[in-house]
Amino acid sequence: MKERVALIIGSTGLIGSHTLQNLIQNDSFTQVISISRKPLKVNHKKLKEIIIDFDKLDTVELNTPIDAAFCCLGTTMKKAGSKDAFYKVDFTYCINFGKLALQNGVKSFQIISSMGANADSLFYYNQVKGKMENELANMNFPTLNILQPSLLLGERSETRVGEDFGKIMNQVFSPFIPKKYKGIEGRKVANFMMQKAMDTTLSGVNRFTSDQMQ
């Protein structure tokens, strides 16, 4: 069997943890390389961990061709603590991860963005997501799959008050919310992302919204 290698960053988050499990369980991949800041609580013969400060992503040497890469990084303004810190996670780290994947011949690159991503948005969060999407789109990946989920549902390791309130509202008003704007489970997003990574008919830049992932 041909060796196929997957590269993932952000595998401790809501979508990233599901994606990591999907990759480990998928027989198409013979090796899964996870880049993280601290050791994962996962043991598997296919899994290789690279523990590093994300400020030093440009120093990572993989020495192996990458078939598919998965960027599941993302934070909130509150957790980041400042606009600069938020930008570093949701733009700089994502772009540097993309460069690393390209340097190692990645064929398919997947990234979690957000509904409303727009470089010209009045909202800083959406603005940064839009700039990140545009930068990646200009990097000429053979295939770039950008996922734009709405409110993410599922158990997180940390509490996000704004999201928790949104989940309650989503539940109450669900019958009246258009499918594109309804909350979506992180597991569903991860499963959809895996499907698109395996789809050899895709090429160029592809964007997917929540209604397509539901």
Q: Which of 93, 129, 131, 196 is catalytic?
A: 129
**Residue 81 region, left (φ>0) first, then alpha (ψ -120 to 50), else beta?**
left
Q: Which of 48, 88, 125, 167 is catalytic?
A: 125
Asked about 125 being catalytic, the answer comes back as yes
Q: What is the 3-state secondary structure (H, E, C) of the chain?
A: CCCCEEEEECCCCHHHHHHHHHHHHCCCCCEEEEEECCCCCCCCCCEEEEECCHHHHHHCCCCCCCCEEEECCCCCHHHHCCHHHHHHHHHHHHHHHHHHHHHCCCCEEEEECCCCCCCCCCCHHHHHHHHHHHHHHCCCCCEEEEEECCCEECCCCCCCHHHHHHHHHHHHHHHHCCHHHCCEEHHHHHHHHHHHHHCCCCCEEEEEEHHHHC
What residues act catalytically?
Answer: 125, 129
